[in-house]
Amino acid sequence: MSQDLPKQGKQQILVVDDHQLILSGSLRILEQKYPSANILKAETAQEALNIVATSGLDLAVIDLSIPEKPETTAQVDTGIQLLKTLMKNNPALNIVVQSSHIKALVRIKHEIDEHQGGFVIANKGLSEKEILNRVDLALQGITHTKDIKTALEFKPEWLEVLKLAFEEGLQDKTIADRMHIHERTVRSYWTKIQDVLGVYPDDCKLEGKNMRIQTTIRAREEGLID
């Protein structure tokens, strides 16, 4: 038997995903469990923001790999930026991240920890039953992020260095200029980044590996960059 949403009244749920098959599946299981809810859909970050601006949402179910607008390529960073905007502008919004790229959420761990609404992670490989269980948790305002629990503690400025170096291909001097810091500060950040990721000169030298390449590999493994 279908169960009503935890809150009284007609509730607003938004599903954001650009994959038609997955979007249709998510809409179907939500409509079956929450028949009294008004369930909306968006395929781009731009469309999602427009809906949020005009609807009093109770829950947003978001994939990370989405396009910014029609005719653009889906990227994980687009979903990350959408989440940051939603959490900043809607601190009480309940959120479920339903994605195959959940490790990338480590990039906004601080924002997630500060968010006042429910925030739950659901890997796309989970069963429908478990996904619905996590939707219930989010609607109750519960935080469930153990899937990204990590010993890594990355400062925002370290993440910025990684992004500028590996996603924009910038050298340290240009990174320093972009971040308005001294070049030696960038070099200091690299040593801290490599320490947290477990990339050390002696190990790389012994194994004949390039430190920056190994740093790239480890950063991708941890979801810090795409």
For the chain, residues with pLDDT lower than 50 are 1-8
Task: Please name the fold of domain 12-148.
Answer: Rossmann fold (3.40.50)
Determine the pLDDT at residue 40. 94
- The architecture in CATH of the region 156-221 reads Orthogonal Bundle (1.10)
Q: Where are the domains of the chain?
A: 12-148, 156-221
**At 88, which helix (H) or strand (E)?**
helix 76-89
Determine the pLDDT at residue 47. 96
CA-to-CA distance for 95 and 39, rounded, in angstroms? Answer: 14
Query: What residues contact 13, with CB distance under 8 A and at least 6 apart?
Result: 30, 34, 37, 38, 39, 40, 57, 58, 59, 60, 61
Determine the pLDDT at residue 150. 59
Determine the pLDDT at residue 173. 95
Determine the pLDDT at residue 3. 39
Determine the pLDDT at residue 221. 86
The tokens describing 221, both together, are 């493994």
